[in-house]
Amino acid sequence: MTVRFVVNDDPVELTVPGARRLLDVLREELGLTGTKEGCGEGECGACTVLLDGEVVDACLVPISQVDGHTVQTVEGLAARRPSVDRPAAPDDLNQLQWAFLETGGAQCGICTPGMLMAGQAFLASGAPATDAAIREAIAGNLCRCTGYTKIIEAIALAATRRDQAESLGPTSDHAGRP
């Protein structure tokens, strides 16, 4: 079937089997390999992306259900991709990505894209960043390396900066994207 949707602000149109997983379309058809496959059955959250702003496991969504909708992947978070010649600077990354770097929220990295998307949805919800609320927001994302503490710290740090930026007004936000 022919599906049309928006990925990270870019409109796409594809003809693919309707039962193909969003995960496979992102990785194989669109080359967006930032989204990872851990378990392929909804348990680990490594494939978490935002569909119309809400977290979903891309391994459980058939592409037929994405037609007409909007997807955001980890590739859509940074303003500019770091490279070997030009390592990431604070302004290239969004606040949450930068907070992961500062706190050491990523180790092997396989869970990180999913954690970032879950964290991003949580920050966008505007919910107060209590420890319990952050834990619930990432309850569908497994990490075998960090023990979660630094991931939770990263989300809390980004939330603190979000709240400070809000109280200072819109122009003071140095990296409020997206």
Partner 1 sequence: MIEPPLVSPPTLADAYRLLAESVYRPIAGGTDVLVQLSGQLGPPPDRLLDLWRLDELRGIELDGDALVLGALTTYSGIRRSAVCRDLLPALVEAAATVGAAQIQNRATLGGNIANASPAGDMLPVLLATDATIVVGSIRGERSIPARSFWTGYRQTALRPDEIVIRIRIPLVADRQVRFRKIGTRRAQAISKVVVGLSWVAPTSGSPWRTVRLGLGSVAERPIRVTATEAFLEGRLPTPDTAAEAAQRVAAEIQPIDDVRSTADYRRAVTARVLHRLIREAGSW
Ligand X SMILES: Cc1cc2nc3c(=O)[nH]c(=O)nc-3n(C[C@H](O)[C@H](O)[C@H](O)COP(=O)(O)OP(=O)(O)OC[C@H]3O[C@@H](n4cnc5c(N)ncnc54)[C@H](O)[C@@H]3O)c2cc1C
Positions in the binding site for partner 1 (CB under 8 A): 1, 17-21, 24, 40-43, 45, 48, 51, 54-57, 59-62, 64-65, 67, 118, 121, 136-137, 139-141
Does 88 contact ligand FES by CB under 6 A?
no
Closer residue to ligand FES (CB): 38 or 76: 38
Please answer whether residues 18 and 64 qualify as being in contact, where contact means their C-beta atoms are separated by less than 8 angstroms: yes
Query: What does 7 interact with, of ligand X, partner 1, ligand FES, none (CB < 5 to 8 A by kind)?
Result: none
Does 63 contact ligand FES by CB under 6 A?
no
Write the interaction track for ligand X spanning residues 33-52; mark x where CB under 6 A is met and - where it is not. Answer: --------xxx---------
Q: Which of 49, 59, 63, 96 binds ligand FES (CB under 6 A)?
A: 59
- The pair of three-digit structure tokens given for residue 19, joined into one six-digit string: 């039962």
Query: What does 61 interact with, of partner 1, ligand X, ligand FES, none (CB < 5 to 8 A by kind)?
Result: partner 1
Query: What does 116 interact with, of partner 1, ligand X, ligand FES, none (CB < 5 to 8 A by kind)?
Result: none
Query: What does 37 interact with, of ligand FES, partner 1, ligand X, none (CB < 5 to 8 A by kind)?
Result: ligand FES
Query: What does 147 interact with, of partner 1, ligand FES, ligand X, none (CB < 5 to 8 A by kind)?
Result: none
Residue type, 79: A
The 3-state secondary structure of the chain reads: CEEEEEECCEEEEEECCCCCEHHHHHHHHCCCCCCCCCCCCCCCCCCEEEECCEEEEHHHCEHHHCCCCEEECHHHCCCCCCCCCCCCCHHHCCHHHHHHHHHCCCCCCCCHHHHHHHHHHHHHHCCCCCHHHHHHHCCCCCCCCCCCHHHHHHHHHHHHHHHHHHHHCHHHCCCCCC
Alpha carbon distance 128, 159 (integer Å): 8
Give the interface segment with ligand FES, choosing from 25-33, 78-86, 101-109, 154-162 (CB under 6 A): 101-109
